[in-house]
């Protein structure tokens, strides 16, 4: 920019000198010098004004672009200002590229967030999702004075199934069980989780032990009706599950770990009694069998 101004000044000075020479005004005369200085000042002011206006225009658009990026980071805006896009210049091109990159990054982050909460095999939630949901659900159920039940589900003799049929068949079996869970627990508030391996967990908000046990039995029966062969099972010829149910009565003060431990204890008793059954407990410890 400085070089262009200098060159423009030289050109104007040359043109001015040639003009004054044609007017027969001596270069050494006071009139010539005064006129030269006046013209130089006017030219300089004009050039300075042009530079300032140009910089302000460009800087204004750059500031708009920076504000747009900051707004995207804070989740306040989705689209760039039209002022940045109306001219077909480098700033408009840069704005479009930044917008595309930010949208792609946002989508990628959303995908990563979903993947961090979802079990990739079954599509159910994982432990992280369980922790997030229970952190909200437990205080809410206490405030509303409603019950909450948790179902701990374990596939009977699943290691033997994997050893006999292979891990790909085992994965297919787990997907089938996840589908049965979806068919059984359909409320929007039901939380379906794969804890890992062959263990699943279901959280039922506003569900006392009676409805929770009924749903657990429905799920167990539905899976049994599928009749997935299990030739290596020592207890049944098909794939079955054992389900421990833990219920917190309205207003009960209990943390997530204690509630899960209660359901796990009921599940342990299911296995001790022969598997392929359901067993329920309340968090106070009295046993509810079915």
Give me the active site residues, please. Answer: 198
Decide if 47 contacts 80 (C-beta within 8 A).
no
Q: Which tokens is 8 given?
A: 């423009």
Half-sphere exposure of 41 (CA within 13 A, CB side): 6
Number of Cβ atoms within 10 Å of the Cβ of 178: 18
Pair 240, 227: CB distance under 8 Å: no
Give the dihedral sign, CA 95/97/99/101. Answer: negative
Farthest CA pair distance, the chain: 122
Helix, strand, coil share of the chain (percent; to 5)? 60, 15, 25
Residue 137, helix vs strand vs coil: helix
């Amino acid at each position: 920019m400085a070089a262009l101004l200098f060159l423009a000044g030289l050109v104007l000075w040359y043109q001015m000198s040639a003009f004054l020479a044609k007017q027969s005004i001596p270069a050494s005369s006071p009139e010539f010098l005064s006129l030269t200085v006046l013209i130089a000042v006017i030219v300089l002011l004009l050039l300075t004004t042009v530079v300032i206006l140009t910089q302000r225009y460009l800087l204004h658009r750059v500031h708009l672009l920076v504000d747009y990026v900051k707004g995207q980071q804070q989740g306040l805006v989705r689209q760039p200002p039209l002022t940045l896009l109306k001219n077909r210049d480098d700033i408009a091109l840069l704005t479009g590229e930044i917008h595309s990159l930010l949208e792609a990054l946002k989508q990628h982050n959303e995908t990563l967030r979903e993947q961090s909460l979802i079990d990739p095999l079954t599509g159910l939630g994982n432990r992280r999702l369980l922790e997030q949901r229970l952190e909200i659900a437990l205080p809410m159920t206490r405030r509303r004075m409603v019950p909450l039940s948790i179902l701990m589900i374990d596939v009977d003799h699943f290691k033997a199934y994997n050893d006999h049929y292979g891990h790909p068949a085992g994965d297919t079996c787990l997907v089938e069980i996840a589908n049965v869970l979806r068919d059984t627990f359909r409320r929007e508030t039901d939380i379906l989780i794969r804890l890992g391996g062959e263990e699943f967990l279901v959280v039922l908000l506003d569900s006392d032990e009676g409805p929770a046990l009924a749903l657990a039995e429905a799920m167990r029966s539905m899976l049994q009706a599928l009749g997935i062969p299990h030739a290596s099972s020592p207890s049944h010829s098909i794939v079955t599950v054992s389900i421990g149910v833990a219920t917190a009565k309205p207003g009960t003060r209990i943390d997530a770990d204690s509630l899960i431990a209660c359901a796990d204890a009921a599940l342990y008793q299911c296995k001790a009694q022969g598997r392929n059954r359901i067993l329920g407990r309340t968090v106070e410890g009295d046993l509810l069998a079915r």
